[in-house]
Amino acid sequence: MGVKVGIIMGSQSDWPTMKEAAVILDELGIAYETRIVSAHRTPDRLWTYGKTAAERGLQVIIAGAGGAAHLPGMMASKTRIPVVGVPVQTRALSGVDSLYSIVQMPKGYPVATMAIGAAGAANAGLMAAGILALNDPALAARLDAWREALSASIPEEPADD
């Protein structure tokens, strides 16, 4: 089966955050591709990626960027494939700039916006898995098992260090 999830990011510097999405997809046995696609530095690459995503068989795009984070929204404007946005934490404004840039989309072009930073990237992986699991019973079973394992790992009582 072909790759169904694209993980794209505005810069190499986003990878340590976006890798958290890849870790989740690995754990769930979901094939993905990773690309640096910058809305500002490589707009033609963004255009081509969005224009060809559906015909290449992608079903979810996870897009992370920081600062003036236009990548997820611009990608959503270019493809009907669901775009899951990850606001990367920035030094100047702690990622609030990224969050606001991604979440405030105009009516008609939604981006499913996650939390700022690593937790958001991991949740983006889980969101992609949940979308794909709607039509993939084997993946649905793996996702259920993943969630049960997480739940079982939480102790009932707090412990001293």
Which residues of the shown chain bind ligand RP5 in the complex (CB under 6 A)? 10-11, 13-14, 38, 65-67, 88
41 known ligand binder: yes
101 known ligand binder: no
The residue with tokens 């700039």 is: 97
14 known ligand binder: yes
Comparison of 116 and 133: residue with beta carbon closer to ligand RP5: 116
Comparison of 97 and 132: residue with beta carbon closer to ligand RP5: 97
Comparison of 4 and 78: residue with beta carbon closer to ligand RP5: 78
Smallest separation, CB 97 to ligand RP5 (Å): 10
Comparison of 14 and 20: residue with beta carbon closer to ligand RP5: 14
Can you give the three-state secondary structure of the chain, one letter per residue? CCCCEEEEECCHHHHHHHHHHHHHHHHCCCCEEEEECCCCCCHHHHHHHHHHCCCCCCCEEEEEEECCCCHHHHHHHHCCCCEEEEEECCCCCCCHHHHHHHHCCCCCCCCEECCCCHHHHHHHHHHHHHHHHCCCHHHHHHHHHHHHHHHHCCCCCCCCC
Smallest separation, CB 109 to ligand RP5 (Å): 19
Residues 6+ apart with CB under 8 A from 101: 65, 67, 68, 69, 70, 73, 87
Smallest separation, CB 11 to ligand RP5 (Å): 3
Smallest separation, CB 87 to ligand RP5 (Å): 9
Q: Residues annotated in the binding site for substrate, as ranges?
A: 11, 14, 41
Q: Residues annotated in the binding site, as ranges?
A: 11, 14, 41
